[in-house]
Amino acid sequence: MRRPAPRTLSIVALAATMLSVGAAAPPSVASPPAKTPAKGHPHTPAKSPVAVGHGGAVASVDRDASAAGIEVLRRGGNAVDAAVATAAALGVTEPYSAGIGGGGYFVYYDARSRTVHTVDGRETAPKSADATLFQEDGKPIPFAEGQTSGLGVGTPGTPATWDRALDSWGSMPLKRLLEPAQRLAKDGFTVDETFRTQTASNEARFADFPATADLFLPGGELPVVGSVFKNPDLARTYAELGRHGTEALYRGDLARDIVRTVRKPPVGPDATRKVRPGDLTTGDLAAYRTKRQEPTKVSYRGLDVYGMAPSSSGGTSVGEALNILERTDLSRASQEKYLHRFIEASRIAFADRGRWVGDPAFEDVPTKGLLSQRFADSRECLIKDDVALKSPLAPGDPSDPTACAAGGTAAPTTYEGENTTHLTAADKWGNVVAYTLTIESTGGSGITVPGRGFLLNNELTDFSFAAANPAVHDPNLPGPGKRPRSSISPTIVLDDRDRPVLALGSPGGATIITTVLQTLTGHLDRGLPLVDAIAAPRASQRNSATTELEPGLYDSPVRAELEALGHAFTRNPEIGAATGVQRLPDGRWVAAAEKVRRGGGSAMVVHPAGRP
């Protein structure tokens, strides 16, 4: 394993904070009560949405997971090491959102070279898959039958992502980095309300699979808030990965256990659910590879914004929307104008995403064109200050950026599961990681690999089940070994000297793109501190007839002002759950997470020092 010797850099964030005129600051919200530390973790710090200090930082949705990353940083590990340790711990405490049965996207800033790198660890379809994977008799099967099935399970990419990141930039062996998570799985963590609620929402699904029920519904009952939840099977699985490396998941007994579970889902004798088998093979697992690829990049307000290139649509969509917004002074706009422009830029970006973005190994994805300022300008002129655009909006053509073109056929936004998770980490040398990982739906496929302690993903349901319009090519239909399109948007922002300003990301399915975009503009344009930009009430427009609003916006006067322009809204109680880190001009790190969403997130630094 290559062990880089990073050197300390003097990193400066934004020189001045932009003033916000007419922007409504988010309400002051107290941090939720901390969970009682689980056995074996009596010194875990209380949960807090913001922390400031030196020596590195970690932010995630979970206190125990963030503590695992901080433990590694205190041992001398770097940001990549901390990210892997945090991700492994999230596989224990957030098993319905992430784990070694899923995949994700890893974005890394290397302080020595001042460059950004990415790893595409997205799941892949079996080699036998074709465009009719989710069809029967020429028609799409019900979504629920793809969601809870072996059919929706793709080859996991998370363990291979850890291996690729550590081999490229890490400084500690995987065995050592898995120790905090292995301990957490063995000794247990304290159940909170979010974990219980997510279990309850999956109770009927989980009950149909004995291995899942035994783990998450012991004795046929929901876990009790405040009780200790243990996962000894996962502790043993992590120990096996530590001894033999992540290759153990792609070859050998563990690989065979995964394939057996997918091809013959272990359904209980009393289950009436139709659970379709999948066609994953040991050959599919053995052939899996992550992809090192160039990040997306756009310039915004004199900063460089880096993101994840296809197969994710996150980098192209966030980048295109920022290019569209570049011409508007959002720092001086009223809240109504700011939200109007943000909604319209999101609508346009999703219109273009649906037509053009898929797995570039199979599709001709015009990434450069989607990110060009010329194309953004040709789309920006569609936006009018006195009237809202109508959805579904037709896509533009990046190869022929005709100003204000509005013809063609719209492509609908496919469903993506919302309960992904995101972590952000930084170290004392200035390296930064933004890493989003997922198993797709809350609880993934609902199928636990017997004796192994983890749920399998249902990521293949991110594919289009059928083309919405047979006359128009859909770049997101299934194919052999193909990666389904994602909205995951881990993002790193650098200044004009290629030094980190901030990094962030979020779960939330297709709402990830709008959450990252709104947080970026809230902080960079509206002048909100990062933790408040994360906490601000959200809107999400994805080229649909209505825009989703959280209660803080839905119940505010600005909704009526936007409705007067022709916008239509639906209420969404919660959108996303972001985390981020920021480098202050004096060299301290700010770690930031949610104040309330998902019970509040956990921000930690190695050496706390002062306030932001």
Lowest mean pLDDT among 34-48, 119-133, 276-290: 34-48
Closest by CA to 344, choosing from 381, 377, 383, is 383
Q: Tokens representing 142?
A: 């019900």
Note the pLDDT of residue 471. Answer: 81
Note the pLDDT of residue 612. Answer: 67
Q: How far, rounded to the nearest angstrom, does the alpha carbon of residue 489 sit from its chain's CA centroid?
A: 6
pLDDT interval class at 46 (50, 70, 90): confident
pLDDT interval class at 370 (50, 70, 90): very high
SS3 (DSSP) at 418 = coil
Of the listed 420, 438, 461, 515, which one is catalytic? 420
Is the pLDDT at 71 greater than 80? The verdict is yes
pLDDT interval class at 410 (50, 70, 90): confident
Q: Tokens representing 469?
A: 């319009």
Q: Please, is 282 exposed, middle or buried when counting C-beta atoms within 10 Å of its C-beta (0-12, 13-18, 19+)? A: middle
State the sign of the Cα–Cα–Cα–Cα dihedral 256, 258, 263, 264. positive
Q: Where are the alpha helices (DSSP H) in 449-564?
A: 511-524, 530-535, 551-554, 557-563
H or E stretch covering 206: helix 203-207
Is the pLDDT at 6 greater than 60? The verdict is no
Is the pLDDT at 417 greater than 70? The verdict is no
What's the CA gap between 1 and 84, in Å, rounded?
A: 15
Closest by CA to 437, choosing from 134, 160, 67, is 160
Q: For 137-156, b where at least 16 C-beta lie within 10 A, e where not — what string?
A: eeeebeeebbbbbbbbbbbb
What's the CA gap between 296 and 349, in Å, rounded?
A: 15
The pLDDT tens digits of the residues spanning 267-301 come to 999 999 999 999 999 999 999 999 999 999 999 99
The pLDDT tens digits of the residues spanning 236-276 come to 999 999 999 999 999 999 999 999 999 999 999 999 999 99
H or E stretch covering 317: helix 314-325
Cβ–Cβ under 8 Å, residues 134 and 140: yes
In this structure, the number of other CB atoms found within 10 A of the CB of residue 451 comes to: 11
Note the pLDDT of residue 41. Answer: 45
First to last CA, the chain: 37
Q: For 37-66, b where at least 16 C-beta lie within 10 A, e where not — what string?
A: bbeebeebeebbbbbbbbbbbbbbbbbbbb
Residues 6 or more apart whose Cβ sits within 8 Å of residue 511: 418, 487, 538, 540, 542, 548, 575, 576
Side-chain half-sphere exposure of 608, counting CA atoms within 13 A: 7
Q: Tokens representing 426?
A: 């930084």
Looking at every residue in the chain, the average pLDDT score rounds to: 92
State the sign of the Cα–Cα–Cα–Cα dihedral 111, 179, 153, 166. positive
- Greater model confidence, 3 or 253: 253
What's the CA gap between 425 and 580, in Å, rounded?
A: 8
Note the pLDDT of residue 406. Answer: 67
What are the beta bridge partners of residue 357? none
Cβ–Cβ under 8 Å, residues 248 and 254: yes
Note the pLDDT of residue 226. Answer: 96
Note the pLDDT of residue 566. Answer: 98
Long-range contacts of 270-275 (CB under 8 A, 24+ apart): 271/207, 271/208, 271/209, 273/148, 273/205, 273/208, 274/145, 275/148, 275/149, 275/150, 275/208
SS3 (DSSP) at 247 = helix
Phi-psi domain of 56 (left: phi exceeds 0; alpha: psi -120 through 50; beta: other): left
H or E stretch covering 540: strand 539-540
Closest by CA to 551, choosing from 519, 533, 570, 573, is 573
Tallying the residues shown for the chain, one arrives at 612
Residue matched to tokens 């049965």:
101
The pLDDT tens digits of the residues spanning 477-532 come to 999 999 999 999 999 999 999 999 999 999 999 999 999 999 999 999 999 999 99
Is the pLDDT at 35 greater than 70? The verdict is no
Amino acid 419 reads: N
State the sign of the Cα–Cα–Cα–Cα dihedral 58, 59, 65, 67. positive
pLDDT interval class at 409 (50, 70, 90): confident
Closest by CA to 568, choosing from 550, 591, 589, 541, is 541
The pLDDT tens digits of the residues spanning 203-221 come to 999 999 999 999 999 999 9
- What is the share, in percent, of the chain residues with pLDDT greater than 70? 91
What's the CA gap between 378 and 215, in Å, rounded?
A: 53
Residue matched to tokens 């898959």:
129
Note the pLDDT of residue 19. Answer: 26
What's the CA gap between 19 and 21, in Å, rounded?
A: 6
pLDDT interval class at 610 (50, 70, 90): confident
Is the pLDDT at 223 greater than 50? The verdict is yes
Amino acid 482 reads: K
Phi-psi domain of 316 (left: phi exceeds 0; alpha: psi -120 through 50; beta: other): alpha
Q: What beta strand segments (E) does 61-204 contain?
A: 103-110, 115-121, 135-136, 139-140, 189-190
Is there a catalytic annotation at residue 420? yes
Side-chain half-sphere exposure of 568, counting CA atoms within 13 A: 9
Is the pLDDT at 55 greater than 80? The verdict is yes
Residue matched to tokens 């900063």:
303
- Residue 258 phi/psi, 5-degree rounding, is -65, -50
